[in-house]
Every structure is written in C-alpha cells, then in structure tokens.
Amino acid sequence: METQGFAVKQEKAALEPHHFEIESPDNYGCVIRVLACGICHSDIHMIDNDWGMSNYPLIPGHEVIGEVVEIGPQAKHLKIGDRVGVGWQRSSCLQCMDCLRGNENLCDDTRALIATGPGGFADRLAMDSRFVFPIPDAIETEVAGPLLCGGITVYSALRYAGMSSGQEIGVIGVGGLGHMAVQFAAKLGNRVTVFTTSQDKADFAAQLGAHEAIVVGKGEAPVAPSKPLNILLSTVPASLDWVPYLNFLDSDGTLSFVGVPDEPLKLPLFPLLMKRRRIMSSPIGGRAIMREMLDVAATYGIKPIVEVFPMEKVNDALRRVRENKVRYRAVLVNS
Ligand SMILES: NC(=O)c1ccc[n+]([C@@H]2O[C@H](COP(=O)([O-])OP(=O)(O)OC[C@H]3O[C@@H](n4cnc5c(N)ncnc54)[C@H](OP(=O)(O)O)[C@@H]3O)[C@@H](O)[C@H]2O)c1
Ligand SMILES: [Zn+2]
Ligand SMILES: [Zn+2]
C-alpha cells in the first residue's frame, strides 16, 4: 500500500514529503489510518540525533490517533473502524520478566516507534496490534494523541514516584508533558506547584489546577515553594542547576526526571543524604498503566490543550515547539 508521510532526510533538516510502502498485516499486525499526531519534544531530539539512535530518512510522530483499517488474523482485540492510539513503543519481547510484570517499557528488546520504522507523521501506520490502545469515547481525537506519550510518561513517573493524593507535587517546565502532569496531579487530589520560565504559563497555571506558580528567570535560582515537596517532576529538555530543586524536597521526597537534560547529572550527595531524598527517572509506561492512564484521563476530564496544524504544516509546527511558543502541545491532523 503506497503511503505518504513527512521525513527528515539528514540530522536537523526540515521535513520533506516522503512516499513508502506498507504491507498488508499478518498475525498480530494492523494498519491504522492516521487522523492526528502530537509533536513531542522527543521528536525534536530524534530529528536532531541528540541520542545517537536516529536512522534517516526518519518519519517522526509517536502520539498517534487513528482508525483501524486493516487487521491481521490474530489481532482479535481490534476491529476495523476502532479509534486507537499508538505511543513511543513499537514492540517488546513479551517474554522477559519485565514484560511479564507489565513493564514492557523496561524490556531490553523494546523498540521505539520512530527509531525502528516510520512514525505517525504520515497517512497510515503499520503496527503490532498488541501495542495499539483503544481510545475511550470521552476523549476527542484531536486532544487524545498527546496522552499516548506525554500523558503516559508523566502519569507513570508520578505513580512510580509514589503519587497518591494529599501530597505536595512540583512540576518543572510547563510544556507538553508538564501541563499534563499538573492536571493529573491536581485532579487526583494533590497540591501542585509549577516552576516555569514563561510568565503567561504562570498566569495560566491555576486553570490547569496548579495552586502555586513560580517564575524562574533565565540564569536565576528558583524561589522556594511555600511547602516542601513530596515529588518534584522535571520535564525540562535541558540542564539546570538541580541543587536548589533538591533542597525543595521534603524528607524522603523524590526528584524524578522525565525530561532529558543535554548533559550528565552532576550532583552533591549531601542534599540527598541529609534528608533521605531520592532521584529517579522513568521511561513512558507499560501497556497496563497505559490503559489505566487513559481511563483516569477520561474519568477525571484530563485533556491536553492543543494547537492544531494541518499535517502539511509540520515544519511550522516543529519551529513553534523549538521556540517554546506552543501552548501546550502541537497536534498535526490529516484532512
Ligand atoms: N521519559 C520519557 O519517557 C519521555 C517521554 C516523552 C518526552 N520526554 C522528554 O521530556 C522532555 C520534555 O518534552 P515535552 O514534549 O514536554 O517538551 P516541550 O513541550 O518542549 O516542553 C518542555 C518545557 O521545558 C521548559 N524548558 C525548555 N527549555 C528550557 C530551558 N533551557 N530551561 C528551563 N526550562 C526549559 C519549557 O517550559 P516553561 O516554558 O514552563 O519554562 C518547555 O515548555 C524532552 O526532553 C522529551 O524528550 C521523555
Ligand atoms: Zn514522546
Ligand atoms: Zn521483554
């Protein structure tokens, strides 16, 4: 099946129209007609080859919402016409202890969608149906995509950091991931503080559910929040001075990284040691917690706020992401 997409052909280049073939699915395979696809900052890291795992031509896009148009004989949990989503993960081994525990995202044989084949900036996407997720009716197509990478990443990271309710949760960076983290934490009954470099985001933070917003000027140290934090989630794709943030944690508090800084962490031990604090990091989420997150989002009305662009305007949308102008997630739609 001849398919049209948008590919980057060399590191850091603009995307260009690109044709490729999709074969009819066998076994657990399926083909999805792409309706919408979010732009995650990881697409930018991959376009730029920041992680040294990009293969060109590279078709980005891993927050995909679409309609099932073909299914293989064993893809029994799907039917033609189902509205489904796909995130960062193309597949895993499904046999190892991590996979058996429902942590497919931790599998040694995990395959990232856009590192191992075409992603969602295209008309169609061929997938292993076992990594395709039904979308609850309550979540509209244009806002659903960002949940499949950004949403699952922050939900899973907060849960594995111990988020329940009645806690003090901080979020650094109110971009695509951050604005969803605020909503999950607040709607599940926590008090939320955001740290942002953007004044307009601080002004808007209460509408996302935040209780406190701290603007951090370029090169300036952040002001302390009014209460010590149980969990502080960094969604920033850059290196900051993390020491003040460590000191904002309560005893036994956790600083969790989902944003990927461009340098290795360099941290003194004492702010951790003296208060028994922890540092963790977390990749996306497994299939069970993905379903749980979609259910929580539908039940509690957690919705990404999106700027919608026609798929052909992909380069304009990417530029706005790079310039930190998007409020709060760019989504490409196919006509
Ligand atoms: N762990 C995972 O599995 C996983 C999954 C998805 C994405 N990620 C990573 O998470 C990061 C964020 O992704 P995203 O899609 O949310 O990106 P995004 O929409 O571009 O948002 C990132 C936000 O970080 C803040 N920021 C950016 N540069 C900064 C700087 N130099 N100093 C301070 N703050 C800065 C900005 O927030 P303010 O305007 O509020 O300051 C910006 O909106 C990326 O590194 C991405 O690769 C990881
Ligand atoms: Zn992503
Ligand atoms: Zn495995």
Exposed/middle/buried for residue 176 (C-beta within 10 Å: 0-12, 13-18, 19+): buried
Mean pLDDT by runs of 10 across the 335 residues of the chain is: 97 98 96 98 98 97 98 96 98 98 98 98 98 98 98 98 98 98 98 98 98 95 98 97 98 98 94 98 98 98 98 98 98 97
Q: What pLDDT is stored for residue 215 in this prediction?
A: 98
Per CATH, 2-149+284-333 and 162-281 having the same topology is answered no
Q: How far lies 317's CA from each of 37, 38, 225, in Å?
A: 12, 10, 34
Distance 173 CA to ligand 1 centre (A): 6
Q: What pLDDT is stored for residue 154 in this prediction?
A: 99
Closest to 201 (Cα-Cα) out of 183, 188, 214: 214
Question: What is the rounded CA–CA span in Å between residue 206 and residue 324?
Answer: 20
Residue nearest to atom 11 of ligand 1 (CA): 259
Question: What is the rounded CA–CA span in Å between residue 76 and residue 64?
Answer: 21
At 319, list the tokens: 């530029």
- Asked if residue 54 has its Cβ within 6 Å of ligand 1, the reply is no
The arrangement of secondary structure in 162-281, i.e. its CATH architecture, is 3-Layer(aba) Sandwich (3.40)
**Domain assignments of the chain as residue spans, ordered by start:** 2-149+284-333, 162-281
At 84, list the tokens: 């489904």
Q: Are strands 15-21 and 29-39 parallel, antiparallel or unpaired?
A: unpaired
Residue nearest to atom 9 of ligand 1 (CA): 259
- Asked if residue 83 has its Cβ within 6 Å of ligand 1, the reply is no
| H helices present in the chain, as ranges | 41-47, 97-100, 141-146, 152-160, 176-187, 199-208, 243-247, 270-273, 287-300, 314-322
Question: What is the rounded CA–CA span in Å between residue 153 and residue 150?
Answer: 5
Measured in Å, how far apart are the chain's first and last C-alpha atoms? 19
Q: How far lies 287's CA from each of 12, 103, 278, 301, in Å?
A: 32, 7, 26, 21
Q: What pLDDT is stored for residue 308 in this prediction?
A: 98
Percent helix, strand and coil across the chain, each to the nearest 5: 30, 30, 45
Q: What pLDDT is stored for residue 219 in this prediction?
A: 87
- Asked if residue 283 has its Cβ within 6 Å of ligand 1, the reply is yes
Atom of ligand 1 nearest to the CA of 237: 45
2-149+284-333: CATH number: 3.90.180.10
Best residue among 62, 89, 235 to mutate for probing ligand 1, ranked by most atoms within 8 Å of CB: 235
- Asked if residue 321 has its Cβ within 6 Å of ligand 1, the reply is yes
Question: What is the rounded CA–CA span in Å between residue 17 and residue 9?
Answer: 10
Question: What is the rounded CA–CA span in Å between residue 265 and residue 199?
Answer: 27
- Asked if residue 177 has its Cβ within 6 Å of ligand 1, the reply is yes
